[in-house]
Amino acid sequence: MATVSIPLLLAEVTGGARRAEVEGSTLAEIIRALDEIHPGIEARIRDGDKLRPTLAFTVDGKIAAAGLATPVGPDSEVCMLPSFGGG
């Protein structure tokens, strides 16, 4: 199962959980599986068929450049990172 690190900004949806182990072969499947454990998290992460711009994702330390289609291995580490704005 992939291990997912969940940022503090989603703690209200996860009941404070900051990590989860879920199955899925793409980022979309991982997010769907997270929503089964923590209902409502998918709506906070996705905007239709895209990821919300408020979060960035990495899979095994690399930016999830393919978005929801990014491959995820059975032992992958998926991190959700809050996006930072600036100017």
CATH code of residue 28: 3.10.20.30
Structural domain including 40 reads 2-82
Token couple for 4:
């997912």
**Is residue 67 included in any domain, yes or no?**
yes
The whole-number pLDDT of residue 36 equals 97
**Is residue 22 included in any domain, yes or no?**
yes
The whole-number pLDDT of residue 83 equals 79
- The residues of the chain scoring below 70 in pLDDT are 85-87
The whole-number pLDDT of residue 13 equals 95
SS3 of 82, please?
strand
Distance from C-alpha of 45 to C-alpha of 31, rounded to nearest angstrom: 8
**Is residue 71 included in any domain, yes or no?**
yes
**Is residue 87 included in any domain, yes or no?**
no
**Is residue 55 included in any domain, yes or no?**
yes
Distance from C-alpha of 74 to C-alpha of 50, rounded to nearest angstrom: 23
64, 70 contact by CB (below 8 A): yes
Question: How many distinct structural domains can be found in the chain?
Answer: 1
